[in-house]
Structure 1
Amino acid sequence: MNTARRWLLLLLCCCVPLLASADTQQTTDQQARDRIIAWAQQFWQSLQRKSGVQTLPTAHAELTIPSGFYFLDAHDSERVLTEVWGNPARSGALGMLFPSDASPFDADAWAVVLHYEAGYAINPRIAAQLDYQALLSQMQSELKADPSDTEGPQLTGWAVPPHFDAERNILYWAKELAFPGKATHTLNYNIRLQHQDGVLVMNIVAPVTELAAISQQLPPLLDMVHFLPDSSTADTLPPTAKVASLPADLPLQPAPRTAAENTALLSEMPDSVAMVISLLRQFWYLSVPAALYLLFRLFRGRERRIFY
């Protein structure tokens, strides 16, 4: 038996058990997809999507939810951020807003995540004089501080340069983040509204491709906030107070890769190649007996040529 025939025998021995198990693997994959879809549908139905006026006691504020949006309270927001988007637990979010036609599972979905930072104030003078390019470099250095963190994001730059609205006492900036394995960069659009004893933070998390649509929705999102009188603080914080925790602002994790993104990745390679790769990963051990047998035949044939 010549070398070419031996290699052909090896390929046949390896592929036959793999091809025989293709139907089983496809059935298993379909069952896994069905379980994920069922879980997502159950999760979606369990969310209490609210409208109208919603109170945020921690932030001393009321929100009049704009038309075209729904609101999730702190409990449901925590579930979305941790179970669907993969953030660490105890995010401290007071709530989230989504466009009415979007769900947390959509690849192009965007949301407004609400936090409150007590004890901070936006100093107009400091905000106007800050070196935002230096601040960007500082944030980039903080993200690179742990070389072992290969799953973390890279801050590529400002998607919207920081600017301060002195009339309304609102600070804006938008960061563009690149996450490993994500083809589209992530947008963290940060809006900080000053109150008597702290800052209400509206962090808009989205694919960076949604920036134009988000910019159009900013006016109704800002107009929805109404701060309530707070008897515990008669005056605003002193003018020497620092700008609200600028270097400490941390980005949220993006939504995990969706089924559509996974399908797109698989569609980039031929179906036959993708199937063989998948089967080899799942059933590599079935090819061991065939490989051992072929090695035995190869060495046996070599011995015959030498001694006979």
Structure 2
Amino acid sequence: MRKTLLLLLISVFAVIVRAQTVDSTEAEIDEIEKTFHYTTGTISLEKGNGTIVVPKGFKFLNGEQSRYVLTDLWGNPKDENIIGMLVPEEKGVLRASSWAFTIMYDPMGYVEDKDASEIDYDEMLAESKKDIEAENASRKEAGYQTADLIGWASKPYYDDQAKVLHWAKEISFEQDSVHTLNYNLRILGRHGIYLINAVAAIDQLPEVQQSIEPVISSISFKEGDRYSDYASGDQIASWTIGSLVAGKVLAKAGFFAVLLKFWKIIAVACVGGFSYVWRKITGRKKEEEEEMQAEENTESSDPTNQEENSNTDSKD
């Protein structure tokens, strides 16, 4: 009977601790979210001589804030090419359902699209898997998660009229139980391309797909830098439509991970060391506890304190 009662009390205590932990973390996440300055309307992009008219249902983070989110909060390799993010209006960047479009610009030159109709995308998928495996060694050495390409989440498609390339890959990151969706868009211009990548969980594919057309329509090159403004003598990119999809470098391919898909694990107090943000939030508390413990150990080992304690005991 006593044993059963003890187990019951332990279970109740565990539930209370878990609830308090989740509430505390939620509060800290709210505080972090409040530090971001989201904007809407028409915005001139940092690079590429283009603009974005933030589509309905989204809010925009500038380059500096976006780089902070991707690197410091989501635990991805640093990439100075990031010039912004589109975040769903009702979501932040620190929620279980968080996802976003990252925006980059590459001044690679004018990408010729003559090969668009001749590409064997199945063969390309096999080559891409090998490239990612080869890249994993350097990612691991740099302290980042390794990645495996599962397959196409949406097979590549080139819109010859809009000069926009679409494709989506399903990726599995080391230690991540939820597969990541990287939905890639490439908007071609006269002197380079805009790279827009949706970073989400694979089960958010339908939600992302609904946003593709509004996002494509929201970003455009200004007059003089459009694809149709090409003039003889302009720089021709060494990349083609096929090589854009292949993406030899993980950063250029938009392989970013959303590590907060472990939120459900956190919520039941089974962190297991997986969430970068969890470590970031709770790290301060752990450091404080370690400092207090160190102080206690110092005091207990101090001969002066031991003598005082001895004298006190004698008086008693």
TM-score, normalised to structure 2, is 0.68
Q: Give the deviation of 1:25 after TM superposition.
A: 8.8
1:104 maps onto 2:93 in alignment? yes
Match of 1:235 in 2: 230
1:253 maps onto 2:247 in alignment? no
1:224 maps onto 2:218 in alignment? yes
2-structure distance, mates of 1:240, 1:59? 15
Match of 2:126 in 1: 137
Match of 2:203 in 1: 209
1:51–1:65 CA contact under 8 A, matched in 2? yes
Match of 2:302 in 1: none
Deviations 1:103-162 (A, max 9, x none): 111222221100011124332212222222222222211221246949312100010111
Q: Which has the higher contact order (CA 8 A, sep 6+)?
A: 1
Gaps of 5+ in 1: 1-11, 268-308
Partner SS, residue 125 of structure 1: coil
1:171–1:193 CA contact under 8 A, matched in 2? yes
Deviations 1:176-207 (A, max 9, x none): 00123333211101000011100001101111
Deviations 1:264-296 (A, max 9, x none): 5859xxxxxxxxxxxxxxxxxxxxxxxxxxxxx
Gaps of 5+ in 2: 272-316
2-structure distance, mates of 1:80, 1:73? 11
Shifted more, 169-178 versus 134-143: the winner is 134-143
Q: Give the deviation of 1:29 after TM superposition.
A: 6.9
Match of 1:160 in 2: 154
Cα 1:31–1:88 change in 2 (3 A) is farther
User: For 2:56, which of 42, 45, 67 is the aligned residue?
Assistant: 67
Aligned length: 250
Correspondence list, 1:33-52, <5 A: 36-52=25-41
Shifted more, 242-251 versus 131-140: the winner is 242-251
Cα 1:250–1:211 change in 2 (3 A) is closer
1:54–1:64 CA contact under 8 A, matched in 2? yes
**Percent of aligned positions that are identical:** 24
